[in-house]
Amino acid sequence: MELDSALILQRAGKLFADPRRIALLEQIGETGSISKGAAAAGMSYKSAWDAVNQFNSLAEKPVVERVVGGKGGGGARLTPFGLRLVQMYRLVGQVQNIALTALQDETLPMDNLHSLIARISLQTSARNQLSGQVAAISSRDHNDLVEIRLSGGQSLFASVTRGSSLRLQLQPGREVVAMIKAFAVSLGPGGSDRQQHNQLDARIEAVTPMSRETEVKLTLCGGEPFYALIANDKTDLSWISPGISCKAFISPRQVLLATLADPGSATMAGL
């Protein structure tokens, strides 16, 4: 299903910005002229003037300002606020596109903006990215052991420094994304117990042997995909096959945490 979206901004019940007006601002910035900008944006000169006047009257700061004199006899330019307005509009458009992309992919979360942006836009070398909420934090010397409740109900523990915990503003209920490299995951049969904090119940979906390692694709009980990269010469692989229930073991020190420090930025912490 192909959907198009258009962002419309209003203030005091009046139109402030829409795609056509933002295109006008971009062209004014490019040409240094309202008349040339109007022509490039496919608007009449009167419509362009009306739009600029409404921008400046509705905004708390001027959006377009006149340039007096010069070789061309003067013109117009975007103010710093006007430039940021155009940039903000384009950023929000990217968020809209992310949401439309997520609609087509049932594996992506739609109930949490943090998780959605992290899954689509946060590119890391860690194959495994798990969303959850901080359930508890216990202090140990200079580190904090953070318990994260995953969507499937399992708990994942991460060990982070106290400074990182404070910087991320970690507290119960805080949404986080846990990132784990595939080589940091070891596997054992379903009934095994290594007395480690992290023992995630999983099901083996696919096994891909390679020359030095074997990649194992898993599904956690919450439906999240998960990967392990096992060295062929260090582990008994005879029991690993699709359909087998198993446990995934991860040291809390191998779990990297990311949060949204505010609606527009991501913060990460780890060892």
For 214-232, how does the pLDDT look when each residue is reduced to its tens digit (9 = 90+)? 999 999 988 889 999 999 8
- Give DSSP secondary structure letters for 133-200: EEEEEEEETTEEEEEEEETTS-EEEEEEEHHHHHHTT--TT-EEEEEE-GGG-EEEETT-----SEEE
Domain boundary among 48, 77, 102: 102
User: Are residue 151 and residue 240 in the same domain, yes or no?
Assistant: yes
Query: From CA 173, how far away is CA 137, in angstroms rounded?
Result: 11
Q: What percent of the chain shows pLDDT beyond 70? A: 86
Q: Does residue 3 lie in a domain region?
A: no
Do both 137 and 21 map to the same domain? no
**Is 84 in the same domain as 118?**
no
Q: What is the pLDDT of residues 8-49, one digit of tens each?
A: 999 989 999 999 999 999 999 999 999 999 999 999 999 999
| More confident call, 262 vs 236 | 236
pLDDT of res. 37: 94
Question: Within this chain, do residues 76 and 121 fall inside the same structural domain, yes or no?
Answer: no
Same domain for 17 and 117, yes or no, is no
What is the reported pTM?
0.58
- Among 47, 68, 102, residue at a domain's last position: 102
Per the CB < 8 A criterion, the answer to whether 225 and 217 are in contact is: yes
Same domain, 182 and 71: no
Looking up residue 57, the CATH number of its domain turns out to be 1.10.10.10
Domain match, 161 and 236 both: yes
Number of domains in the chain: 2
Q: Which domain holds residue 16?
A: 9-102
Q: Are residues 122 and 165 in the same domain?
A: yes
pLDDT computed for residue 107 by the predictor: 67
- Indicate if 33 and 72 belong to the same structural domain: yes
CA dist., res. 161 & res. 143, Å (int): 4
